[in-house]
Amino acid sequence: MTDPRYKKLAKLLVNYSTQIKKGDPALLDLIDVPDEFSVELIRAVREAGGVPFAETRHTRVSRELLLGTDKNHAAQTREIEMFRMKKMRAYIAIRGSVNTSENSDVPSDRMRLYSKILRPVQDYRVNKTRWCVLRWPTPSMAQAAGMSTEAFEDLYFDVCTMDYARMARAMVPLERRMKRADRVHLKAPGTDLTFSIKGIGAKMCKGDRNIPDGEVFSCPVKNSVNGTIQFNAPTIYSGTKFENVRLEFKEGKITNATSNNTKRLNEILDTDAGARYVGEFSLGFNPFILSPMCDILFDEKIAGSLHFTPGQAYEDCDNGNRSAVHWDMVLIQRKNWGGGEVWFDGELIRENGIFLPKDLKPLNPRNLK
């Protein structure tokens, strides 16, 4: 018997996240996902009147392709993927992986080449389709979270099928405040960072782009970032795990970057000129996600967190920065993680992970659960 939670999640993705309507072609990009869920998702698209197209992929197969990729292979892949993407109105990607480090031995230059050449496909998908991306729960994710497989699956379905419409209503005041803010000041152990978000805008993430969700993002004015930020959540990028990432900025540019793997960190930041500038600033507040699990779609939504992102800016909140890199790095500011402060134009907005102004208090964990 199929897990009833599969049907609930499939319906949320189709009816709420991507709002698939009659006649909408929808690409279902399924990586290491159980067939039982893939079938439920196809059925949900059809029930909504959409036309489902399914691509099933496997991470070990993808790794082999990446190991031997070159400009010609990557360019042909881009043409094929772009042709298909331009036929779609909706896109749902579900990404599972038995081994989250599967691509750790793919050479950096191959990953950099492939990412750069394929970037236009991602840009088109982000800007021209109704899309949603999520992970699939695997034992490796449970292990990274320090949880049993069963307990992690329960957490996964709790957070992925929560009442996102209610959360969306609570986000409105924060989006309004970020749209009118100029100066931002971040403080935490090892962190003293200032920048401007004036005129950039802000965007709520309420379950219609990522699942799980729970953030409002903006973007620094490109040359306005100054100071230091010390991230306390581990992060995986291109199959490599990084810890204790510390970035120093001068006039928007990362001038010094260190971590447990400083060499690989700087290789990624040297992908192109835009990789050393920032493309996103966001505050996270999902009440069900409290600790990092080395999966950015979860970690960037941690209650009481923020993320700061070297690389590509989104068109929704654009500072003009362009890069093949978009790397969300997470700083948790709850008291048990060292605490911290977020200031907008001299007003203390969040302290130790708790929103202080009256209009923002509905976003605090006890009010969202």
Per-residue pLDDT of the chain (369 residues; tens, 9 = 90+): 778 999 999 999 999 999 999 999 999 999 999 999 999 999 999 999 999 999 999 999 999 999 999 999 999 999 999 999 999 999 999 999 888 788 889 998 999 899 999 999 999 999 999 999 999 999 988 888 888 999 999 999 999 998 898 899 999 999 999 999 999 999 999 999 999 999 999 999 998 888 999 999 999 999 999 999 999 999 989 878 999 999 999 999 999 999 999 999 999 999 999 999 999 999 999 999 999 988 888 999 999 999 999 999 998 999 999 999 999 999 999 999 999 999 999 999 999 999 999 999 999 998 888
Residues 6 or more apart in contact with residue 217 via CB below 8 angstroms: 202, 203, 205, 280, 281, 282, 283, 314, 317
Is the separation of the CB atoms in 255 and 248 below 8 Å? yes
The Cα–Cα gap between 352 and 338 comes to: 8
Residues 6 or more apart in contact with residue 163 via CB below 8 angstroms: none
61 burial type by CB count under 10 A (0-12 exposed, 13-18 middle, 19+ buried): exposed
For the chain, what are the domain ranges?
4-160, 164-368
pTM of the shown model: 0.79
Is the separation of the CB atoms in 196 and 179 below 8 Å? no
The Cα–Cα gap between 114 and 94 comes to: 20
Helix, coil or strand: residue 183 = strand
CB contact burial 138-152 (16+ within 10 A = b; e otherwise): bebbbebbebeeeeb
Q: Which H or E run includes 82?
A: helix 71-85
Cβ neighbours, 10 Å, residue 22: 8
Domain 4-160 bears CATH identifier 3.40.50.300: no
Residue 172, CA distances (Å) to 71, 298, 301 in order? 44, 21, 17
Cβ neighbours, 10 Å, residue 260: 12
